[in-house]
Structure 1
Amino acid sequence: MEQKRSKLVTWIQESITAKMFTVGMLILILLIPLAFVQDLIKERKYRQEDVVNEINDKWGNEIILSGPILKIPYKEIKEVKSINSETNLYDIKKEEYTHYAYFFPEELTIDTKVETKPLNRSIYKSVVFTSDIDVSGEFPQVQFELPNIQPENILWDKATIIIQTSNLKGIRNTVETQLQNNKLSMAPIYNNSVLNTIESGAITNFSEINESKTAFKFKLKINGSKAVKFIPIGKTTKASITSNWASPSFDGMFLPEDGSREITENGFKASWKVLQINRQFEQTFYNTLPDLTPFAFGANLIIPVNEYAKSERASKYGFLVIGLTFLVFLLIQLVSKIYIHPFQYVMIGLALVMYYTLLISISEHSSFLKAYLIATLAVLGLVTLYTKSILKSTKFSALIGISLLALYGFIYVIIQLEDYALLVGSIGLFTILSAIMYFSKKIDWENK
């Protein structure tokens, strides 16, 4: 029995097949703690998102602005027939209904200045902003185009101005709309639309000022976060955004005009021009005002790829790092005939897994580059010294150290790239595979 056991141990220690099988199983086993580390990174990332959303919700969320819009009530009189049970004849009654017509501007100009600043809570940071929005333009002479509306049923003296926004609680000034010589105070009203609505009081002299085009203007000071966008309700809509934020992402139905965008390390400028022909809705709506937010355009004030996203991307290469490191050890073992115990493989693998916990914990308190350097040097030093102690060879421990340094450097380059990440990654892996094929040809594979 002892003889059979010693033969089995000898076969495991000397057989190439047994060594490869053992190393492969250890790599698969180490995927379990690596998966736990990846879950930890996701958990910390979700925690950051929750804190950032809470900060943004208290300061002010995404800004979507639509307005001003003329809202004019009109009456519709319908004849309703009903059978009189006593005479069996039809009784005709007139019932009166009040509806609303919504008229959009002919010219709409929006000039926006956005000043960003960071807000911190514990170790988490969010970027918020205060925007100063100047809106001006003019309404055309209002004419009802419905044939069944009688002039006397249009309630001109009850016309109002409405402005819609997604971020009502972020407004930081008393909003007044100037319509010709009228100054109209705005107040919030309840509605079931996607955007919140503020509405002016009745424009009692609107029938007088409606004899020609009607000029308007108003100013908004709004706290917001994530994005500032506008709905192009003007027959011609011109908008511009100037900000000190250096990482905008232009989003929505329309992009800035060619040559208008300017992005530097000190901020950005961009302008848009949208014509009625460019969008799929008319200038007048009756009865109900539809949801036009899908036509919004503007800029997302995005935070560049943060530490958690980079750590998550780095951890996805964990299998590659462990697999290639174990493969180098296996090749050293096969070439040098030095026996490396499976426990020693496990210790090296756990050190490589611990790399990612070091990376995420340090990056929460420092920059990703510093965290990456510290974690790399720590694990590199640990594995190199451990390798020297088990292999008793400076040459092999130096080979392991250089291999890990090159591998972590290669992964850092891939993480920083976006457009060329796949190309560089494919070339790098092809080079690594070529090197492994070249060095493995010296191994005597007959020893099974």
Structure 2
Amino acid sequence: MENQKQKKSFGQWLKTSITVRMIMIGILILILLIPLSYVKSLIKERSYRQQEVVSEINQKWGNEVLLYGPALKIPYQVHHLKKSWDEKTKTYIEEDVITVKHAFFFPNTLDIKANIESETLGRSIYESVVYTADMKIEGSFTVPNFEIQDIEASDILWNKATVIINSTNLKGIRNNLELNIGNKNYPLRSKYTENSYINMLETKFLEETSLPKENTVSFHMNLMVNGSEQLRFIPVGRETNVSMTSDWASPSFNGNYLPDTKTKEISKDGFKANWKVLQINREFEQEFFGALPQINNSAFGVKLLIPVDEYQKSERAAKYGYLVIALTFLVFFLIQTISKIDIHPFQYLMIGLALTMFYTLLISISEHSSFLQAYIIAGTAVILLTSIYSKAILKSIKFMGFVAISLTALYSFIFVIIQLENYALLVGSIGLFLILGTIMMISRRIDWKND
């Protein structure tokens, strides 16, 4: 009889002990982190799939456009004195060995006017923003200065001078390219380069009237190209001016230089932006001897953004999953402790799984609708399910209403944090402080003496 009484009292202690309940809830929260981590992996997997599909769409339409040039390419001769021993004459023979190198001269002025017409292309449930850019490029070349390298005028091969332009996207070009320089038209032809990222276009040898031997010569060309995501330029002119207009309402200006804030306009109908970059603003010279440098890090331009990234928001929401589960369990724990209602660990587990299902519903519904609609549908479904279940285990409409109100407030709070960027930490900290204060006030009614 005494053993049965001891077993009964021990069992009742496990059932009524507040400390044991808290430990049990903590263990259940740790267990529920396992399915929550699988949900996060699912979101990342779907996000990677979106990136793959978008990349495939962009590759077929035309990748990002980075324009590098034009640049004047002029060969020149370099003399090396080579000495060799002649066994017959027993003397050294001197031989003038000539090698040909290239000098590259950037334009004095470079003006680019670009009009960007955007559209979205979709495949299955994914979409990407692409564009067609119609560009007018003009400028001028001044007389090249070979004296800085002590190159004699007789060593300059003017008859083999060309103009080159580098671009990352030859596939997207929609018109036959011709460069007009010195009132002469020169077709641009693609040329093989070892750099797989950027491709070279080059004219044939320039005629005498197109060469800036004594005077400045002007050039102009039209370029129409299909691209995706970004349009960028490298400011190779001594003075580079870029004017850009587009019907896309969500631009992100990036790169080494930002547009003039006084002339920049962004509206629901599109944007306008202007850049002015001087040579003194750059980190490279106006001429190069031997080879063109890698100066892609000096590029600037615009990135066309799809305004809403559902996967990014779903991933941010999932990061608060453990907080939602912990606070919901805390609500049930307070109700159980204050009202003396028994809640089985299995019932806690069912509630936790219902809360985890919110994120799978969110990601699956958001792929077919807006994030707001998906959040409302998923949140309403989980709140209704949890509230109805709580009515069954708590046997009270009052407690069911309290659970429903608590979950609604919690999901609303998480949604506000997700939407905010600059003030997310501030709002989150204030919200958690208020939640903690509320819990501290309610927990005063708990009697810890009989634990």
Report the 3-state secondary structure (helix = DSSP H, G, I; strand = E; otherwise coil) of the residue aligned with 2:147. Answer: coil
Indicate how the Cα distance of structure 1 residues 207 and 256 shifts in structure 2: closer, same or farther if over 3 A, else same: closer
Counterpart for residue 255 of structure 1: 258
State the AA in 1 paired with 2:422: D
**How far off its partner does 1:30 sit?**
0.5
CA distance in 2, matches of 1:70, 1:16: 82
**Identical-residue share of aligned pairs (%):** 54
Segments of structure 2 that go 5 or more residues without pairing to the other structure are: none
* More displaced 10-residue stretch of structure 1: 262-271 or 204-213: 204-213
CA distance in 1, matches of 2:212, 2:256: 34
* More displaced 10-residue stretch of structure 1: 80-89 or 248-257: 80-89
CA distance in 2, matches of 1:207, 1:114: 31
Counterparts of residues 213-252 of structure 1 (less than 5 Å): 213-252=216-255
Partner of residue 34 from structure 2, selected from 27, 32, 35:
32
CA distance in 2, matches of 1:158, 1:221: 28
CA distance in 2, matches of 1:179, 1:329: 79
**How far off its partner does 1:411 sit?**
0.7
**How far off its partner does 1:78 sit?**
1.8
Give the total of aligned pairs.
448
Counterpart for residue 306 of structure 2: 303
Partner of residue 176 from structure 1, selected from 175, 178, 182:
178
State the AA in 2 paired with 1:393: S
CA distance in 1, matches of 2:188, 2:43: 47
Counterpart for residue 377 of structure 2: 374
Report the 3-state secondary structure (helix = DSSP H, G, I; strand = E; otherwise coil) of the residue aligned with 2:186. Answer: strand
Query: Deviation digits for residues 172-222 of structure 1, max 9, x if unmatched?
Result: 111100002110000000122452110000012157653311110011111
CA distance in 2, matches of 1:209, 1:328: 81
Report the 3-state secondary structure (helix = DSSP H, G, I; strand = E; otherwise coil) of the residue aligned with 1:169. Answer: coil
Query: Deviation digits for residues 292-329 of structure 1, max 9, x if unmatched?
Result: 11111111112224111010000001001000000000
Is 2:182–2:209's contact at 8 Å kept on the other side of the alignment? no
Report the 3-state secondary structure (helix = DSSP H, G, I; strand = E; otherwise coil) of the residue aligned with 2:422. Answer: coil
Indicate how the Cα distance of structure 1 residues 227 and 207 shifts in structure 2: closer, same or farther if over 3 A, else same: closer
Counterparts of residues 401-412 of structure 1 (less than 5 Å): 401-412=404-415
* More displaced 10-residue stretch of structure 1: 26-35 or 205-214: 205-214
**How far off its partner does 1:147 sit?**
5.1
CA distance in 1, matches of 2:204, 2:210: 15
Counterpart for residue 399 of structure 1: 402
* More displaced 10-residue stretch of structure 1: 432-441 or 145-154: 145-154
**How far off its partner does 1:223 sit?**
0.9
Counterparts of residues 279-318 of structure 1 (less than 5 Å): 279-318=282-321
Report the 3-state secondary structure (helix = DSSP H, G, I; strand = E; otherwise coil) of the residue aligned with 1:418. Answer: coil
TM-score, normalised relative to structure 1? 0.97
Counterpart for residue 358 of structure 1: 361
Counterpart for residue 389 of structure 2: 386
Counterparts of residues 42-61 of structure 1 (less than 5 Å): 42-61=44-63
RMSD of aligned Cα (Å): 1.4
Is 2:142–2:212's contact at 8 Å kept on the other side of the alignment? no
State the AA in 1 paired with 2:102: Y
Is 2:232–2:302's contact at 8 Å kept on the other side of the alignment? yes
Indicate how the Cα distance of structure 1 residues 207 and 344 shifts in structure 2: closer, same or farther if over 3 A, else same: closer
Counterpart for residue 64 of structure 1: 66
**How far off its partner does 1:87 sit?**
4.0
Counterpart for residue 136 of structure 1: 138
State the AA in 2 paired with 1:343: F
Query: Deviation digits for residues 360-407 of structure 1, max 9, x if unmatched?
Result: 001111111111011011001100000001111000010000000000
Query: Deviation digits for residues 68-108 of structure 1, max 9, x if unmatched?
Result: 11101111222211122444421212211111111111111
* More displaced 10-residue stretch of structure 1: 399-408 or 237-246: 237-246
